[in-house]
Amino acid sequence: MFAKLRSARPLLVALGLALSSLAGIAPSTAAAEIPYLQLNTAEPKYAAIVIDANSGEVLYDKRADSPRYPASVTKIMTLYLAFEALSEGRMKPTDRVVISPRAAAQAPTKLGLPAGDSLSVDEAIRAITVKSANDVAVALAEKLGGSEQRFAALMTLRGQELGMRNSRFVNASGLPDSRQISTARDLAILSRATMRDFPQYYSYFSIKGFTFRGNYVRGHNRLLDSMDGFDGLKTGYTNASGYNLAGSAVRDGRRLIAVVLGGSSTAWRDNNMEDLLLTGFEVMKRRSRGDRTTIAANLYEDEPTGAVMRPSVEQGDGEQSGLQIVLTDKPRPAPVKVSPTLKAAQAKANKPKGDWSVQVGAFQSKGLATKQLSIVRGRFAKFVADAEGAVEGAAGGAFRAQFQGLTAEAARSACSAITAKRQPCMVLSPR
């Protein structure tokens, strides 16, 4: 069946382009079979799903069919159609992609090439997967579809073919548009289809950075560095969507796919993705031993609360480099509430030996700062077991997560161990 669909795709491409050309406005025609989806603003933004990449079995879902803004995770579909064109010989990696005035005018995140400039298809794909370049996504869409509108029509049609029943695309980048809607389930279906249909191109999603015209372009997907077995796929961010991520990892010969939508920060999103995948692998392992269990039964579910913290000016992936949270290698425990009474009790019980401190993050939310203390204490107990955890308010409304009551030697040793794991830590001398 799938082979028949693949053989019919060139005809579908031509049909889609013809229909969109006749209609004049491609998105509305292409989406005619899909009900117009409205977001329920009262519902939490967070949605997630975990599936077995081999079988497609859903191992966990949370509002997986609720409509959400996909943001730059949209670009997986843009790349799916690009990979399709490459595999069918309609495009070559060395072909040139020209930056039109419309592409050059796209909002950041972008590569920033001027109108009339060009780059190879291979470079374009790298710019999209690594930089999440909106300008390049539009230029590639124009190359493949003639216009971004016509290409978006093809995106919606291909999504329907793949089983994405609740998705509608109107642009190739994921830049804000209230008409562009998907769901966690649909994005998991798309992710699985991409690695299944074009395994020869999947490695593009694991690129951490690339050199373009003498400059090194670093990627946004930090889990590629911090989580063993994690190899893609795509981050995304807009103010309306929150922080999104479609990810996949392999452990012990098993591959899982997870989608996290509506995170309140890059750090929260990345932690949640890792927790979902690691818990999923543990569940798969226990199932192989005959244990009947689920991800939900083993996961500490902690949804983001409130608005997106420190919104980025860039619509694409949105950096929040100051909001790093230590990534765990097991489901994280419930956060410890650091009240004044508890502080006093800890100080009395631990008998601090010094007046040095270490700071392990500054956050827009006291809850996140408190959670950071719990995570760091759990992972680096050897170094901070005798320290007092404290959340200190700071100018500008930030909350600083600190371990206090350390000697100078203990503070430096703790920070050395924490930073060795590529996590933020700063030694604070006595005032």
Question: What is the per-residue pLDDT for 303?
Answer: 76
pLDDT truncated to tens, each residue of the chain (431 aa)? 334 445 455 555 555 554 444 333 333 333 333 434 556 767 789 999 999 999 999 999 999 999 999 999 999 999 999 999 999 999 999 999 999 999 999 999 999 999 999 999 999 999 999 999 999 999 999 999 999 999 999 999 999 999 999 999 999 999 999 999 999 999 999 999 999 999 999 999 999 999 999 999 999 888 999 899 999 999 999 989 999 999 999 999 999 999 999 998 888 899 999 999 999 999 999 999 998 889 988 877 667 765 555 455 566 665 544 333 233 333 444 444 444 544 444 444 446 468 888 888 877 778 788 888 888 888 888 888 888 999 887 655 677 889 999 898 888 888 888 877 767 788 887 76
Rounded Cα distance, 175 and 44, in Å: 21
**Sequence-ordered alpha helix ranges (H) in 31-115:** 75-87, 101-104
Question: Where do the domains of the chain lie, and which CATH numbers do they carry?
Answer: 2-298 (3.40.710.10), 340-428 (3.30.70.1070)
Exposed (0-12), middle (13-18) or buried (19+): which is 9, by Cβ within 10 Å? middle
Rounded Cα distance, 80 and 72, in Å: 14
Assessment of whether the complete model's pTM goes beyond 0.85 = no
Contact call for residues 109 and 312 (beta carbons, < 8 A): no
Amino acid in position 307: A
DSSP H or E run through 347 = helix 340-350
How close are the terminal C-alpha atoms of the chain, in Å?
Answer: 71
Contact call for residues 168 and 27 (beta carbons, < 8 A): yes
84's tokens: 């399709």
C-alpha 199: how far from chain center:
21
**Residue 187 carries which DSSP code?**
H
C-alpha 96: how far from chain center:
29
Q: Among 130, 134, 123, which residue's Cα sits nearest to residue 96? A: 123
Question: What is the per-residue pLDDT for 20?
Answer: 46
Catalytic residue IDs: 72, 75, 132
Please, which residues have CB within 8 angstroms of residue 77's CB and are 6 or more apart in sequence? 155, 158, 159, 169, 190
**Sequence-ordered alpha helix ranges (H) in 164-265:** 184-197, 223-226
Residue 245 to residues 33, 263, 305, 326, 350, Cα–Cα distance (Å): 27, 9, 18, 18, 40
Contact call for residues 160 and 15 (beta carbons, < 8 A): no
Q: Among 70, 78, 200, 191, which residue's Cα sits nearest to residue 143? A: 78
251's tokens: 């452990």
**Sequence-ordered alpha helix ranges (H) in 198-331:** 223-226, 266-288, 295-298
C-alpha 83: how far from chain center:
21
Q: Among 325, 184, 157, which residue's Cα sits nearest to residue 241? A: 184
How many residues does this entry show for the chain?
431
Exposed (0-12), middle (13-18) or buried (19+): which is 172, by Cβ within 10 Å? buried
Please, which residues have CB within 8 angstroms of residue 42's CB and are 6 or more apart in sequence? none
Contact call for residues 402 and 362 (beta carbons, < 8 A): no
Contact call for residues 428 and 383 (beta carbons, < 8 A): no
Please, which residues have CB within 8 angstroms of residue 100's CB and are 6 or more apart in sequence? 115, 138, 139, 142
Rounded Cα distance, 118 and 366, in Å: 47
Task: State pLDDT tens for residues 385-406.
Answer: 888 999 887 655 677 889 999 8
Task: State pLDDT tens for residues 269-295.
Answer: 999 999 999 999 999 999 999 988 899
* Strand 47-52 relative to strand 254-263, pairing: antiparallel
Question: What is the per-residue pLDDT for 119?
Answer: 97
